[in-house]
Amino acid sequence: MEYKWAGFFGEKGLEMADRYVLRNLGVRGDWGFSFVESKGASGGIIVAWDESVWSLVDEWKGNYSLSTVLSRKEDESCVIFSGVYGPSLGAEKKLLWEELNGIRVRWNHPWCIGGDFKEIRFVSERLGCRRSVKNMRVFDKFIAKNDLIDLPLSGSRFTWSRGESQSRIDRFLICPGWLSLVPEVIQRSLVHSVSDHCPIILDPRMES
């Protein structure tokens, strides 16, 4: 069984989501989608799914995330996928974690979260970082509280770069139940294009 997932997270401001946008993002075939509009020149989230495999059951749009419940047509099993575009200001980061904690309370299905969290977990994830700070520790506690797995990233050490600054602020987090659906999934980065972020994907194949 081939599992097809797509989450797209934009920084240039997606004013609208339509079939034209999805085609330019490389999506082909019969796909459904949901979106959260950008705020000014930043943000914007699109989550898309292959409608030959999945049906949309429910969704919830927050200030920093878009969550969908998808049902697999083969056996009607449900999963949650949340796309994230995190806040840059430290004072707002608490609101992101509260928003995502609410998703786990709202639904109880295998969960995957992906996107730009605007935060790192470890000092090794930011070039030149020398010590852990409170926001990093809060991010780590959120992952532990929700029993999420941060798969190792292959392809590159960092996912964002601007000038001499480099960080791993983009990632997928999955719960153990997700691995029961796709047990051999890996997280890897792709080559930069026009963005200062590396696209990242969950690839349901073992590394060669």
pLDDT (tens digit per residue) in 30-52: 788 888 877 655 667 888 888 88
Cβ contact 61:79 at 8 Å: no
Q: Does residue 142 lie within any of the structural domains?
A: yes
pLDDT band at residue 14 under the 50/70/90 scheme: very low
What integer best gives the mean pLDDT of the chain? 82
Residue 181 belongs to domain spanning: 51-203
- Judge whether residue 191 has pLDDT over 80: no
Q: Does residue 17 lie within any of the structural domains?
A: no
What backbone phi and psi angles, to 5 degrees, belong to 107? Answer: -135, 155
Q: Does residue 16 lie within any of the structural domains?
A: no
pLDDT at residue 203 in the model:
78
Among 171, 179, 191, 175, which Cα is nearest to 122's? 171
Q: Look at 53-57, 101-105, 121-125, 130-134 and tell me which has the smallest mean pLDDT.
A: 130-134
Q: What secondary structure letter does DSSP report for 151?
A: P
Q: Does residue 35 lie within any of the structural domains?
A: no
pLDDT mean over 17-22: 54
Q: Does residue 33 lie within any of the structural domains?
A: no
Among 55, 14, 1, 15, which Cα is nearest to 31's? 55
- Judge whether residue 207 has pLDDT over 80: no
Which amino acid makes up residue 91? A
Q: Does residue 105 lie within any of the structural domains?
A: yes
* Number of domains forming the structure of the chain: 1
Q: What are the tens digits of pLDDT across the range 115-174?
A: 999 999 999 999 988 888 899 999 999 999 999 999 889 888 898 888 889 999 999 999
Cβ contact 132:168 at 8 Å: no
Q: Identify the residue whose tokens are 């999805």.
A: 22
Q: Which two tokens stand for residue 44?
A: 């914007």
Q: Does residue 172 lie within any of the structural domains?
A: yes
30 versus 8: the higher-pLDDT residue is 30
The rounded distance, in Å, linking the Cα atoms of 54 and 181 is 13
pLDDT at residue 41 in the model:
55
pLDDT band at residue 201 under the 50/70/90 scheme: confident
CATH of the domain at 76: 3.60.10.10
CA distance between the termini of the chain: 20
Q: Does residue 9 lie within any of the structural domains?
A: no
- Judge whether residue 206 has pLDDT over 50: no
